[in-house]
Amino acid sequence: MGNDFAVFFASIMVSGGQEIMDLAIQGLSEEDANPRFIEELQDRVDIVQHKLKFIERKPSVAFINTLDFTEHAGNSLLRLISAAGGMMVNTNLYSGSAWESLIETNPEIIVVAPQNNTIEDTMKQMTSLLDQKGFSELAAVKNNRVYIADGNQYFYQPRARIVDSLEILAEIINPKQFIFGYEGQGWVRFDM
């Protein structure tokens, strides 16, 4: 159990939509930074934010961004998951083991998306997660809410893809409210 998982917990911030747009616009090339494309991105973010206004319950989310357990996810992922409807789980990931924090907080949803990994790459490496003490007892595992997302195409890539990443997380966190068509290509449920 000596491995520290890079676990990332997120919370909902209603203003998160504007933060996501700011990040998306920062990453646009000159040719993509046309008003029509920016308006399209804004419309997509607004759809997510509008639907979230009517969702009272915000599930707790853990984001595992590396299976070699060497780093924690960054602030842009915090804003992204927050804007997609995740709930903050109070934990201090910088003291002690991140895995112990994950067990202690018992998130309702776990998203595994290591940077530069396709879904297939991550599937091949999931035994390192499955072998961790207490994994099978987590609420996310018991309720079949463990997901693998494509960390090669989303989450860490050029900022214009951040809106795609927002939509993926919205589908995962609130599947009854959001269907953008990423299931199967951008993310899959990890059935056990």
Specify whether the CB–CB gap between 48 and 178 falls below 8 A. Answer: yes
Residue 135 CA to its chain's centroid (Å): 19
Classify residue 179: in a domain, yes or no: yes
Q: Which domain holds residue 31?
A: 6-189
Closest by CA to 22, choosing from 80, 84, 86, is: 80
In a domain, 37, yes or no: yes
For residue 1, being part of any structural domain is answered with no
What's 21's domain CATH number? Answer: 3.40.50.1980
- Say how far residue 81 (Cα) sits from the centre of its chain: 5
pLDDT at 66: 75
Q: d(Cα 73, Cα 133) in Å, to the nearest integer? A: 22
The span from the CA of 169 to the CA of 7, in Å, is 16
What pLDDT sits at residue 147? Answer: 97
Reported as a pLDDT band with limits 50, 70 and 90, residue 122 is: very high
Q: In 3-state terms, what secondary structure has residue 109?
A: strand
CA 76 to each of CA 20, 147, 166, 172: distance values in angstroms, whole numbers, following the listed order: 8, 20, 11, 18
pLDDT digits (tens, 9 = 90+) for 82-111: 889 997 564 444 445 677 778 888 999 999
pLDDT tens for each residue of 49-58? 999 999 988 8
Quick check: is 181 in a domain? yes
Q: Do residues 101 and 150 touch, judged by C-beta distance below 8 A?
A: no
pLDDT at 187: 98
Nearest to 52 by CA among 104, 105, 13: 13
Provide the number of structural domains found in the chain. 1
Q: Which of 27, 30, 149, 10 is nearest to 89 (CA)?
A: 10
pLDDT tens for residues 29-40?
677 777 888 888
